[in-house]
């Protein structure tokens, strides 16, 4: 039963590793080293499982001739000590030897990510003494370049994990941890918080967008700019509502009065690939929906729902935010 | 006469009390070695992580400690091998209600634990060989 | 094992009459004497009838309650799991709210670990251990009963919270700051409720260790002990060293929750990592605490099935002891992603792989045993085979996870969920069910259905794989643990649906098993006495059941006495061995030496009592009221609990016997009273204090941890503990200790009056020392809420003075004993035990004062 299941499992593995958040469908150097490690381990584990259980089946069902106690003792020494000693020593050496590369530092832009309940504060530190570029809930990285990521948390522990790029690293309040990623492919890869962080832990995700080096630099330059002023009437009404409803107490939109720091920076929120920390599509409707039903969409979230606004007002707000490219 | 016999009993018993502890010696050496390695690494990495010289010194120091630990485990192993006294009767079952069997059983168990502890110390020393920094 | 122990042990065992000769054992006993003595024995061990039944303390009653209660909690936790599986069956489901889901997974884990796995081991051991050792009962029956009632009250309190929607919701690992900052009483219920149960677990562990070391039948040398006994010894020892760090952690945690002492608050110098260390120093050995007893069941079943002695008895002992040690070097593999230096991770990767070796040896020893024997497959063996198939898979994924880099990817994903359920089902649930089938005829003298057993097996086995095998892949595809919902775009949908279907198949399997377990079997004829032709002593049980455990306590010369010692059962039944009679109508069992099991004492054990239930209720109050910050009733409860325990000790422990020695049978005359290392109570205190010292060491570890991990520990310009008070305090305790040791010596020499006066001096100096110790911190200006440095100093001070206060109560008990004639030169067990306690306390005091008084000045 079990054997069949294991074999079919490996078939499934081969066919279904196309998810955007998979350990096996890799897009980064560190992750591909680990995926390789996994396949080696998996083959070894299946072989050993079959040997051990085959032996057990053989002794209980096939009923071989009785073994002498001396031979039995030899079986225990060989199977229980000598063989595992050599095998495990090899495994430990293998694992230890890949650790230094996994932990190697990156250079260039430093991305500083802070875990909040339940979203990600993201800052790009160019290392030239200029103020960091603040963003949220999305990380953009240059391809074929090792980028250093510094991690922290506000209040509770989170864990930063983009399976396609690298292993995870926990984020602590009051303690800085670090890692580095080296994407080998452009594309969008999903990441998610991996350490239980409270009520809406399940709803704390983000997209990682890997760009070509020059595209990345252009994007960074755009991201540094202040928000674009809406020109059309409806979004402009949305902008006024943003001010009058006091959204600026928590959110920052650079270039406007909104300078709050409790919630995500929204300066270029319309250009992001998702909304609400990786849980909604980046459409005007989704913006409206979110503003009206915050607590229902993300239980325990601090942002109040603005259900008292009229449909028209909500729509205007949504259009304004969506236009913040 | 009776008194004499009783004294002798006391003496063998005292020896046996030691050999019950003997079972735990090899593993304890592993445990101490482990704690020293972990403690030293945690301490050095917390206080001097940016100083490669200190880390190298620590690795050399831990290497020496590992060798010492292996020697100590070997000594325990040798003592228990003597107590097991396998080569006199090739007995490894020790299932009779005899003082000798109890004595040899404790030696045997302790010898096997020395083997495990020896392997354990070797394994725990591997990171000292392979990892050069605190990162 | 001191010199004096050996003197006492050898001098008190008769030389001429022990060991018994074949001739002595051959001697016939006439029928009338047999019946007369059997009646007296039956009367002494009679289980109370009617509503008084609940005052029973006998291991066979307490063990049954204990195991059924643990089984009930497992079913509750299983229902939670099913509800969670329903929620996860489809993406974006709203069957459960986020908060309810979080409460459910927290309670599922907590209940399975604290209310099922560990108590179940203790329950089964309480049930079978005395029988395996041919003993009458556990050495401290009332302590088992007390432990059970504590477990029941605490379990209902913790489990019941889910019905009111206020259960803990921060995960069974309760990581701060999430759990410390959690609103509501959930975290407090977890901390206080489970601490309460942990104390009961430690009590049971102490009793089991003493049982194995001191209550073996005469002649059962340490090399003849059933393997189950070895496992109990190792697991008991592990509980003793693994639970205390968690208790120390709980102590700090609750101080933070209740009084805002910032141990885990980074803003005031605290560090959430300390909790993770303390929790996992407990948490990983816990896995083996759960696993080893189940292997122990396999070690009983396998030789019976093979009809041959186990191959490599020494090998299995080695692997049990080795696993016990190594399991303490693995805890950081739960913290591989916390950014610790890679060299530290390397040590834990290495140790985690090393532990595979003893585990592998165990499995190979079983295979070898089956290979030398002629296998007769039976139902328990089917479950053991299933367990092996599941456990090896879980073990192999364990080998993968132990490699730090691989763990960086799959840590906290469903891969780990799959791994841990594979190890726990294979290493705990299946062997446990095998054990229940195997021992069922022993427990109830009836049999369970083989047909239903097979149906249940295949449901459980296939359902298990359907539920958990896909989870490996779910995890690899990136699904984290502890998420109450997931989007449908990531390819996790069908995998989760399959797992949910599997979970329900497992549930049906459990229903079939439970039905078979509990269905009335009144009409069924009694089972044969030794249905599997097993070789160990428990199968000499009486059919129909008798409460005395063993008609007479046999003399043992083999690992498998029922196979090798002809006529042993017949002779036991005839009362030909030891303690076949109870002329004084008292419950008695034999105490033997640790290594060679020479009989040295006839110990009177306690009988039915209500006081244990009262003590448990008030202890419960002392733990439960603080959950709601109701401190006055908590304090009253605590005082009443202490009063109950004192009453219980005063009226029933180590009573002065009416005669010095008694005839234990076969011409052996043994003392009834023992004190110091010869007595079981002394061992109990010694072992308990070992655990207590471990908890204290964990607090001290906390101090060093802050010093290592924090830049500015001992912040510059901080106040120090007042040296003058502290030094005077330590000196006072030194006087306490010295006068106490003096009092014990004088009492033994017959100067009871002087001894009592010295005890009074001792008590006065304890009061002075406690006061000075408190004042040295209270008057120092250190404000525990301001920073972690004063907080840890306060915590160490509180820990120390609580212990000295308990020491004061003990001194008072001895003074009362000396006054009312309970403490005499020959009967000084209480004084010996209190002195032993104070040996530990004086070390605690010295270490505590060095750490809080001297170290901050040096650093």
Give C329-387 pLDDT, tens digit per residue. 999 999 999 999 999 999 999 999 999 999 999 999 888 888 888 777 789 999 999 99
Which of A61, A66, A161 is opposite residue C372, by nearest beta carbon?
Answer: A66
Measured between alpha carbons, how far is C379 from C94 in angstroms, rounded to an integer? 42
Measured between alpha carbons, how far is C353 from B116 in angstroms, rounded to an integer? 12
Residue % of chain B over a pLDDT of 70:
86
**Interchain CB distance below 8 Å, A22 and C476:** yes
Name the helix (H) or strand (E) containing C603. strand C599-604
Q: A76 touching B, CB under 8 A?
A: no
Integer CA distances (angstroms), C353 to A90, C55, C123, C329, in order: 11, 48, 31, 11
Size of the B and C interface in Cβ pairs below 8 Å: 154
Cα B101 versus chain centre, distance:
22
Measured between alpha carbons, how far is B135 from B50 in angstroms, rounded to an integer? 10
What is the reported pLDDT for A90?
95
Residue B17: pLDDT band with limits 50, 70, 90: low
Q: What's the CATH code, domain C691-858? A: 1.20.120.80
Q: A268 touching C, CB under 8 A?
A: no
Measured between alpha carbons, how far is C311 from C755 in angstroms, rounded to an integer? 55
Mean pLDDT calculated for residue range B26-55: 91
Looking at the DSSP bridge assignments, the partners of residue A180 are A148
Measured between alpha carbons, how far is C603 from C673 in angstroms, rounded to an integer? 7
What is the reported pLDDT for C5?
39
**Interchain CB distance below 8 Å, C347 and B28:** no
**Residue A286 contacts by C-beta under 8 Å, 6 or more apart in sequence?**
A275, A276, A280, A318
Residue C289 and residue C116 in contact, taking contact as beta carbons nearer than 8 Å: no
Which of B92, B93, B123 is opposite residue A89, by nearest beta carbon?
Answer: B123
Nearest to C565 by CA among C667, C366, C298, C576: C576
Kindly list the residues from chain B whose CB atom is less than 8 angstroms away from the CB atom of residue A102: none
Which of B97, B109, B117 is opposite residue C224, by nearest beta carbon?
Answer: B97
pLDDT at B13 over 60: no
Residue C819 and residue C723 in contact, taking contact as beta carbons nearer than 8 Å: no
Higher pLDDT, C614 or B2: C614
What is the reported pLDDT for C844?
97
* Matching residue, tokens 């959930």: C186
- pLDDT < 50 stretches in chain C: 1-15
Specify the 3-state DSSP secondary structure of A7. helix
Kindly list the residues from chain C whose CB atom is less than 8 angstroms away from the CB atom of residue B62: none
Nearest to C232 by CA among C127, C339, C114, C90: C127
Q: Which of A73, A74, A92, A104 to mutate to test the interface with B (most CBs of B within 10 A)?
A: A92
Which of A69, A85, A99 is opposite residue B131, by nearest beta carbon?
Answer: A99
Ordered DSSP codes for C532-573: T---SGGGG--SS--TTS-SSBPP--SSSHHHHSTTHHHHHH
* Matching residue, tokens 């992001």: A272
What is the reported pLDDT for B7?
54
CA distance C4 to chain A (A): 40
Give A191-248 pLDDT, tens digit per residue. 999 999 999 999 999 999 999 999 999 999 999 999 988 889 999 999 999 999 999 9
Measured between alpha carbons, how far is C787 from C793 in angstroms, rounded to an integer? 11
Total residues found in chain C within this entry: 859
* Residue C332: DSSP 8-state: G
Q: A102 touching C, CB under 8 A?
A: yes
Measured between alpha carbons, how far is C110 from A135 in angstroms, rounded to an integer? 39
Angle, helix C631-652 to helix C611-624, in steps of 10 degrees? 160
Domain locations along chain C = 691-858
- pLDDT < 70 stretches in chain A: 1-19, 63-65
**Interchain CB distance below 8 Å, C315 and B99:** no
Chains that touch A (3 or more CB pairs under 8 A): B, C
**Interchain CB distance below 8 Å, B5 and C9:** no
Residue of A nearest to C337 (CA): A169
Residue C323 and residue C360 in contact, taking contact as beta carbons nearer than 8 Å: no
Size of the A and C interface in Cβ pairs below 8 Å: 277
Measured between alpha carbons, how far is C237 from C325 in angstroms, rounded to an integer? 10
Integer CA distances (angstroms), C638 to C243, C644, C790, C797, in order: 22, 10, 27, 20
E strands, chain A, where?
Answer: 110-116, 119-125, 133-136, 138-142, 147-153, 158-160, 169-171, 177-181, 187-192, 205-211
CA distance C627 to chain A (A): 21
Kindly list the residues from chain C whose CB atom is less than 8 angstroms away from the CB atom of residue B5: 15
Which of C318, C594, C709 is opposite residue B116, by nearest beta carbon?
Answer: C318
What is the reported pLDDT for C436?
95
> H helices within C750-828, ranges in order?
752-778, 788-819
Which pair of tokens denotes residue C454? 């097979």
**Interchain CB distance below 8 Å, C15 and B42:** no
ipTM: 0.93
Q: C343 touching B, CB under 8 A?
A: yes
Q: C563 touching B, CB under 8 A?
A: no
What is the reported pLDDT for C537?
93
Size of the A and B interface in Cβ pairs below 8 Å: 27
pTM: 0.93
Which of A19, A91, A172 is opposite residue C478, by nearest beta carbon?
Answer: A19
């Amino acid at each position: 039963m079990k054997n069949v299941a294991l074999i079919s499992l490996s078939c499934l593995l081969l066919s279904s590793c196309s998810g955007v958040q998979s350990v096996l469908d890799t897009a980064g150097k560190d992750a591909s080293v680990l995926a390789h490690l996994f396949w080696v381990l998996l083959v070894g584990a299946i072989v050993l499982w079959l040997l051990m259980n085959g032996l057990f089946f053989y002794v209980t069902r096939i009923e071989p001739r009785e073994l002498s106690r001396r031979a039995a003792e030899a079986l225990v020494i060989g199977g229980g000590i000598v063989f595992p000693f050599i095998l495990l020593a090899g495994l430990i050496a293998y694992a230890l030897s890949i650790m230094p590369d996994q932990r190697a530092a990156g250079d260039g832009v430093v991305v500083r990510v802070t875990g909040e309940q339940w979203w990600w504060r993201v800052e790009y530190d160019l290392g030239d003494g200029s103020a960091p570029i603040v963003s949220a809930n999305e990380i953009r990285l240059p391809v074929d370049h090792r980028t250093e990521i510094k991690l922290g948390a506000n209040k509770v522990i989170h864990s930063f994990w983009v399976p396609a790029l690298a292993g995870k690293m926990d984020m602590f309040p009051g303690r800085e941890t670090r890692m580095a990623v080296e994407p080998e492919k452009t594309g969008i890869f999903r990441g998610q918080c991996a350490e239980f962080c409270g009520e809406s832990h399940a709803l704390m995700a983000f997209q990682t967008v890997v760009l070509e080096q020059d595209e990345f630099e252009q994007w960074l330059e755009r991201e540094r700019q202040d928000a674009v002023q809406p020109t059309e009437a409806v979004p402009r009404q949305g902008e006024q509502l943003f001010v009058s409803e006091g959204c600026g107490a928590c959110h920052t939109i650079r270039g406007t009065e909104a300078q709050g720091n409790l919630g995500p920076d929204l300066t270029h929120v319309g250009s992001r690939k998702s909304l609400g920390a990786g849980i909604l599509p980046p459409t005007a409707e989704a913006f409206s929906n979110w503003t009206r039903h915050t607590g229902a969409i993300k239980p325990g979230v601090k942002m109040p729902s603005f259900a008292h606004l009229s449909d028209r007002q909500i729509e205007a707000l949504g259009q304004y935010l969506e236009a913040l490219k | 006469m009776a008194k004499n016999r009783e004294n002798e009993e006391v003496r063998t018993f005292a020896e046996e009390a030691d050999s019950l502890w003997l079972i735990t010696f090899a593993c304890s050496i592993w445990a101490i070695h482990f704690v020293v390695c972990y403690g030293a690494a945690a301490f050095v990495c917390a206080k001097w992580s940016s100083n490669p010289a200190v880390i190298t010194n620590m690795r050399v120091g831990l290497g020496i400690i590992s060798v010492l630990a292996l020697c100590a485990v070997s000594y325990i192993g040798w003592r228990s091998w003597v107590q097991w006294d396998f080569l006199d009767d090739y007995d490894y079952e020790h299932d009779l209600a005899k003082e000798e069997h109890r004595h040899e059983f404790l030696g045997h168990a302790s010898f096997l634990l020395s083997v495990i502890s020896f392997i354990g110390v070797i394994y725990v020393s591997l990171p000292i060989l392979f990892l050069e920094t605190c990162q | 094992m001191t010199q004096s122990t050996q003197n006492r042990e050898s001098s008190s065992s008769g030389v001429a009459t022990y060991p018994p000769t074949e001739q002595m054992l051959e001697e016939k006993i006439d029928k009338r004497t047999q019946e007369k003595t059997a009646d007296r024995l039956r009367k002494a061990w009679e289980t109370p009838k009617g509503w008084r039944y609940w005052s029973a303390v006998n291991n066979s009653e307490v063990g049954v309650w204990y195991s059924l209660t643990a089984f009930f909690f497992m079913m509750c936790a299983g229902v939670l799991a099913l509800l969670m599986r329903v929620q996860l069956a489809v993406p974006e489901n709203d069957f459960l709210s986020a908060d309810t889901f979080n409460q459910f997974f927290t309670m599922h884990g907590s209940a399975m670990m604290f209310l099922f796995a560990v108590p179940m081991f203790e329950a089964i051991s309480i049930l079978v251990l005395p029988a395996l050792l041919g003993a009458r009962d556990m050495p401290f029956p009332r302590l088992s009963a007390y432990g059970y009632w504590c477990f029941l009250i605490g379990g209902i309190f913790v489990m019941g919270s889910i019905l009111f929607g206020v259960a803990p919701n921060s995960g069974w690992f309760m990581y701060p700051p999430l759990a410390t900052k959690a609103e509501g009483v959930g975290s407090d219920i977890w901390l206080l409720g489970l601490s309460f149960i942990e104390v009961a677990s430690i009590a049971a562990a102490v009793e089991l260790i003493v049982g194995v070391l001191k209550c073996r039948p005469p002649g059962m040398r340490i090399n003849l002990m059933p393997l189950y006994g070895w496992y109990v010894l190792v697991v008991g020892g592990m509980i003793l060293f693994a639970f205390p760090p968690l208790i120390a952690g709980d102590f700090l945690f609750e101080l933070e929750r209740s009084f805002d002492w910032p141990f885990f608050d980074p803003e005031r110098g605290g560090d959430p990592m300390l909790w993770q260390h303390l929790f996992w120093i407990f948490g990983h050995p816990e896995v083996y605490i759960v696993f080893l007893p189940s292997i122990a069941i396999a070690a009983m079943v396998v030789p019976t099935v093979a009809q041959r002695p186990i191959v490599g008895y020494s090998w299995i002992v080695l692997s049990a002891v080795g696993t016990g040690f190594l399991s303490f070097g693995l805890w950081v593999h739960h913290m591989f992603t916390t950014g610790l230096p890679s060299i530290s991770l390397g040590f834990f990767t290495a140790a985690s792989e090393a532990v595979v070796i003893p585990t592998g040896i165990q499995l190979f020893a079983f295979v070898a045993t089956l290979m030398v024997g002629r296998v007769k497959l039976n139902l328990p063996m089917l479950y053991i085979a299933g367990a092996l198939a599941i456990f090896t898979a879980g073990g192999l994924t364990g080998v993968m996870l132990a490699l730090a880099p691989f763990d960086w990817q799959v840590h906290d994903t469903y891969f780990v969920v799959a791994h841990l359920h594979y190890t726990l089902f294979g290493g705990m649930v299946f062997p446990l069910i095998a054990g229940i089938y195997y021992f069922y005829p022993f427990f109830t003298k009836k049999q369970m259905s083989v047909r239903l057993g097979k149906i249940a097996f295949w449901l459980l086995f296939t359902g298990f794989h359907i539920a958990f095998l896909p989870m490996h892949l779910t995890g690899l595809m990136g699904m984290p643990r502890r998420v109450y919902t997931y989007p449908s775009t990531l390819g996790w949908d069908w995998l989760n649906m399959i797992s949910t279907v599997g979970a329900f198949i497992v549930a049906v399997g459990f229903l079939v098993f439970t039905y078979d377990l509990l269905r009335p079997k009144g009409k069924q004829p009694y089972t044969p006495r030794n249905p599997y032709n097993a070789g160990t002593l428990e199968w000499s049980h009486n059919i129909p059941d008798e409460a005395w455990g063993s008609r007479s306590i046999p003399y043992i010369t083999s690992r498998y006495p029922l196979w090798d010692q002809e006529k042993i059962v017949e002779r036991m039944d005839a009362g030909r061995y030891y303690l076949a009679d109870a002329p004084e109508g008292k419950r008695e069992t034999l105490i033997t030496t640790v290594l060679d099991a020479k009989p040295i004492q006839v110990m009177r054990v306690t009988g039915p009592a209500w006081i244990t239930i009262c003590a448990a209720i008030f202890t419960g109050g002392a733990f439960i009221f603080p959950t709601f910050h109701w401190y006055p009733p908590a304090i009253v409860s605590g005082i009443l609990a202490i009063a109950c325990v004192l009453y219980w000790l005063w009226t029933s422990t180590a009573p002065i016997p009416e005669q010095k020695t008694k005839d234990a049978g076969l011409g052996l005359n043994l003392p009834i009273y023992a004190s110091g290392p010869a007595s079981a109570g002394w061992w109990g205190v010694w072992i308990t204090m070992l655990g207590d010292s471990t908890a204290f060491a964990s607090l001290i570890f906390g101090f060093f941890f802050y010093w290592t991990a924090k830049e500015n520990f001992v912040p510059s310009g901080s106040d120090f503990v007042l040296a003058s008070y502290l030094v005077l305090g330590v000196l006072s305790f030194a006087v306490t200790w010295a006068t106490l040791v003096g009092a014990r010596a004088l009492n033994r020499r017959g100067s009871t009056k002087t001894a009592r006066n010295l005890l009074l001096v001792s008590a006065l100096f304890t009061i002075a020392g406690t006061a000075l110790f408190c004042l040295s911190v209270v008057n120092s200006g250190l404000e525990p809420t301001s920073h972690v440095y004063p907080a840890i100093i306060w915590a160490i001070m509180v820990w120390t003075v609580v212990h000295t206060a308990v020491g004061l109560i003990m001194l008072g008990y001895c003074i009362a004993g000396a006054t009312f004639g309970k403490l005499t030169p020959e009967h000084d067990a209480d004084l010996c035990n209190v002195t032993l306690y104070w040996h530990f306390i004086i070390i605690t005091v010295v270490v505590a004062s060095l750490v809080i008084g001297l170290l901050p000045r040096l650093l």
